[in-house]
Amino acid sequence: MTNAQKWIASFLGLFLVLLILGKITKKEDTAESFPTMMGQMQETTQSANGLGLIKQSACITCHGSELQGTKIAPALSDLKKFWNRDKLINYLRNPSSFGTDERFVQYKEKYKNIVMPSYNNIDVKELGKIADYLLSK
């Protein structure tokens, strides 16, 4: 072998070693990140309960951090007196169609410039979880 051939051979050897090392470390990476990925997935499913969704959907900016009511929106307590699950889901999807009730006439007076937004962009299943949570309080 000439000197040049030796150089080429050793470069090829080095290249192969690096390639193999790269493959090995890559495998370790995926093996390590898998549990973290699962952890994150669990976290999102756990927080996707009614209360989590309420916090995510900014309901608390109007209704208060404990849904205790604020100057701009009523307290969300004792809702089971007035709503069942289906009605409440429908209400969240389209609040303006429930404005005739005596309670709502008063709300209109009290929270004059604020309207309860319609949440027909939230998945019905998730609205169901929100309704379940509100009705369980």
Does residue 114 bind ligand HEC (CB under 6 A)? yes
Does residue 76 bind ligand HEC (CB under 6 A)? yes
Query: Whole-number minimum distance, CB 41 to ligand HEC, in Å?
Result: 24
Does residue 116 bind ligand HEC (CB under 6 A)? yes
- Three state DSSP letters for the chain: CCHHHHHHHHHHHHHHHHHHHHHHHHHHHHHHHHHHHHHHHHHHHHHCCHHHHHHHCCHHHHHCCCCCCCCCCCCCCCHHHCCCHHHHHHHHHCHHHHCCCHHHHHHHHHCCCCCCCCCCCCCHHHHHHHHHHHHHC
Residue 6 vs 87, nearer CB to ligand HEC: 87
Query: Whole-number minimum distance, CB 46 to ligand HEC, in Å?
Result: 19
Kindly tell me which residue out of 10, 33, 61, 106 binds ligand HEC, with binding defined by CB under 6 A. Answer: 61
Question: Rounded distance, CA 131 to CA 82, Å?
Answer: 12
Residue 29 vs 123, nearer CB to ligand HEC: 123
Choose the binding region for ligand HEC from 6-14, 20-28, 36-44, 76-84 (rule: CB under 6 A). Answer: 76-84
Check if the beta carbon of residue 114 is closer than 8 Å to that of residue 72: yes
Residues that bind ligand HEC (CB under 6 A): 54, 57-59, 61-63, 73-74, 76, 79, 82, 92, 95, 103-104, 107-108, 111, 114-117, 119, 130, 134
